[in-house]
Amino acid sequence: ASESAAKLPSKILDLMDGFKASKALFVASKLKMFDYLKTKGPLKAVDVANEVGTSVCGTERLLDACVALGLLEKTSQGYSNTDSANTYLTSDGEYSLHGYIIHSNDHLWPLFTNLESAVREGSRQNHRAFGRKAEDLFKDYYHSQEVKQRFMAAMHSIAHLTARDVATAFDLSQFKSTCDLGGCTGALAHELIQIYPNMKVTVFDLPEVIANISYFQPSEQCAAPVTFVSGDFFKDNLPEADLYILSRVLHDWPDEKIHVLLSKISAVCKPGCGILLAEMVLDDEKKNRSTALLQSLNMLVQTEGKERSGSEYRGLLEQHGFANVKIKLTGNLLDVILCIKT
Ligand code: SAM
Tens-digit pLDDT profile for residues 122-171: 999 999 999 877 678 898 889 899 999 999 999 999 999 999 999 999 99
Q: Residue 221 — pLDDT band, cuts 50, 70, 90?
A: low
Average of per-residue pLDDT across 186-194: 97
> Model confidence at 5, in pLDDT bands (50, 70, 90)?
low
192 CA distance to ligand 1 middle (Å): 18
Average pLDDT of span 31-55: 97
Residue 282 has pLDDT above 70, yes or no: yes
Contact 232, 208 (CB under 8 A): no
Q: Is the model more confident about 109 or about 132? A: 109
Q: What is the greatest pairwise CA distance in the chain?
A: 70
Q: To test ligand 1's pocket by mutation, which of 162, 208, 248, 307 has the most ligand atoms within 8 angstroms of CB?
A: 248
Which helix (H) or strand (E) segment holds residue 19: the answer is helix 10-30
Ligand 1 atom with the smallest distance to the CA of 234 is 23
300: CA distance to ligand 1 center in Å?
17
CA distances from 66 to 32, 33, 80, 253 (A): 13, 11, 11, 37
Q: What is the mean pLDDT of residues 108-128?
A: 97
Torsion angle, CA of 141/145/146/152, rounded to 10 degrees?
A: 60
For residue 86, report the distance from its CA to the centre of ligand 1, in Å.
29
Mean pLDDT for the stretch of residues 326-339: 98
In the predicted structure, residue 341 carries a pLDDT above the cut 90: yes
Residue nearest to atom 22 of ligand 1 (CA): 232
Residues 6+ apart with CB under 8 A from 147: 107, 140, 141
Task: Give the binding-site residues of ligand 1, using a 6 Å CB cut-off.
Answer: 138, 155, 158-159, 182-184, 205-206, 209, 232-234, 247-249, 252
Over residues 168-183, the pLDDT tens digits come to 999 999 999 999 999 9
> Which candidate, 272, 273, 262, 244, places its Cα nearest to that of 314?
262
Fold of 2-96: Arc Repressor Mutant, subunit A (1.10.10)
> Do the Cβ atoms of 41 and 72 come closer than 8 Å?
no
How far does residue 262's CA lie from ligand 1's centre (Å)? 15
Q: Which atom of ligand 1 is nearest to the CA of 246?
A: 1
Domain 101-341 has CATH 3.40.50.150: yes
Please determine, for residue 23, whether its predicted confidence score (pLDDT) is greater than 90: yes
* pLDDT tens-digit map of 288-310: 999 999 999 999 999 999 999 99
ipTM above 0.90? yes
Of ligand 1's listed atoms, the one at least distance from the Cα of 187 is 5
Closest residue CA from atom 23 of ligand 1: 232
Catalytic residue among 103, 190, 251, 320: 251
Rounded percentage of the chain residues whose pLDDT exceeds 90: 92
Residue 290 CA: distances (Å) to CA of 44, 195, 222, 287, 316:
37, 31, 37, 8, 23
Closest alpha carbon to 331 in 170, 166, 195: 166
- Predicted confidence at residue 2, as pLDDT, reads 52
Q: What is the pLDDT of residue 178?
A: 98
Looking at the predicted structure, is the pLDDT value of residue 77 above 90?
A: yes
The pLDDT score that the predictor gives to residue 223 is 63
Residue 132 has what pLDDT?
77
Residue nearest to atom 15 of ligand 1 (CA): 182
pLDDT category of residue 4 using cuts at 50, 70 and 90 = low
Ligand 1: centre distance to CA 325 (Å): 23
Instruction: Give the start-to-end residue ranges of the domains of the chain.
Output: 2-96, 101-341
Mean of pLDDT values over 85-107: 96
- Do the two domains 2-96 and 101-341 of this chain adopt the same fold? no
Residue 251 annotated in active site: yes
pLDDT, position 140: 81
